[in-house]
Amino acid sequence: MAMKLYVATHNVHKLREIGEILPGYEIVADDPDVEETAPDFAGNALIKVRAIAARHPGAWSMADDSGLEVRALGGAPGVRSARYAGEPSNTPANNALLLKNLEGVADRAARFTCTVALVDPEGREHVVTGHCPGHIAHAPSGTAGFGYDPLFIPDGHEASFADLGEEAKNKISHRGRALAQVRVLLTGRDALQRVRDGGLGELTLEDVRRLLREGNRVLLMTRHAERPHIDHEDPSFGATLPLTADGEEMSRAFGRMLRDFASVVQLASSPLRRTMMTTECIAEGMGLAQPDISPEDALGNGTFYFADAHAVWEEFRDGSFFQKCFAYFETGTYRGFAELHAATDALEEWCLAHFTAPFAIFTTHDLYIAAYLAARGVVDRFTVANWPRFLDSAAIVLAPDGTRRYALVRAGLSDRVSGV
C-alpha cells in the first residue's frame, strides 16, 4: 500500500507536479484555509503544514510556498507571486504587470524558489528549499505549465518553462529540486534506521563491510589522506601537493580494512596529485597489483560544485575556509559555487552512471564531501569539530530493494581536519 502524504494545497497543477516528482506516494490534498502572513517562503510553508498536520497526527504532512524573485525588482513578486496584480489571483494580470514593471530594464535575472515544510509522523518539522535561476523573457511563450512559466527561461535553456513541458521542467525546476530533498527525507527515514542508533547516518568502515556482505551496493566518496598545508595564495588549490608519509600509510590501512572486497571494487580519483596518491595507496592496501584508477575531472576542480573556480579561489584566499563553506551549506548559494542541491543531484546522477561495480571508492576533497552530506541532510550543521577528517567518506548505499540512503563514514584513521 502506498504511503499517504497529506499536502496543503487545492492547486491541481501543483498536485500533479508533486505526484510526477514523487511517484509511489498517495498524495492527499488538504486545503489548510489559513492566512499566509509570514514575510518569507519558509514561514508561510510552516503556517500551512502545521494547520494540516494537526488534522493528521502520525502521518507525513507537507506544504510549500513558492514564487518568482526578480533581481531588478528587489526580489518581487516574491511571496506575493500568486497575487502580484491584486486579489483574487489572476495569472494573465500577474504576467502583464511583471512585463510592464520590467519595461526598459536590461537586468532581467530571476529565480524561482520553492520552500517545502514537512511534519513527520513523530511531529518533527523539516524545511528544505530549491532554486531555479534564469531570466524573464520579453514576451510569453509556450502553453504548458502555469503561473509565470511562459515568461521564465531557466539558465542553460533558450525555451521557457511553458515550452519545455512538464517532464523536462520537473528535472530542473525549483519544486523538483526541493522535492528531491523531500524524497530523501521520506525514503531515507526507515532505511537509515537499520544502520544508525540515534544520530543520522554515521557509519564506520566495519559497517560498510557488513552492508556489502548483506548485498548492498556502496559508493564511497572519500576525502584524500593527509597532505601538507596549502598556501592560501595558491590559485591551484595546492594541485601539486603530495601526501605526507603518514597520509600514504593511513591510505594503505584504509585499503587493508576493505581488502575482502578488492574483487568487486571500482576506483576513481580527481586528477589532483594527492587524491591520485590516496587512491593508489588504498589499492595497494587492498592487494591490487595493477589497479585500474580512472582520473575524473568531475571529482576535482571541474566538479559540479564549482561554477567559477577562480571566484572560489578569490573568496577563500584570505584563509576563512570554514566560514565560507558553512555559509554555502546553510544558504545553498555562494559566489563562485553552483546551487548546492542542484550540484549534488548532478554529482549523484553522474556517480550512479559511472560506477557500476558493487563497491566504489572515488577520492576527492573535503569540501565536496561536506557539501554532499549537507545537501542530503546527513549533517544538519557543520563545525570544525565534526568536519570530515582525512579518509572520511560520504556514502551512497543502494539496497537490493532499490532503497537509497546516505551516510557519513568515519574511517577513524586520522583526527586531523587540515594538513600538518
DSSP letter string over 181-250? HHHHHHHHHHHHHTT-SSSSSEEEHHHHHHHHHTT-EEEEEEE----PPPPTT-TT-STT----HHHHHH
Q: CB of 127 within 8 A of CB of 117?
A: yes
Concerning whether 65 is annotated as a catalytic residue, the answer is yes
Q: CB of 344 within 8 A of CB of 298?
A: no
Q: Among candidates 297, 295, 273, 299, which has minimal Cα distance to 364? A: 299
- Please confirm whether the linkage preceding 235 is cis (ω < 30° from 0): no
Q: Measure CA 45 to chain center.
A: 20
| CA angle in degrees (0–180, nearest 5) for 391-389-334 | 110
Start-to-end CA span in the chain (Å): 55
- Residue 116, helix vs strand vs coil: strand
The catalytic position among 30, 65, 149, 366 is 65
User: Would you name the residues annotated as active-site residues?
Assistant: 65
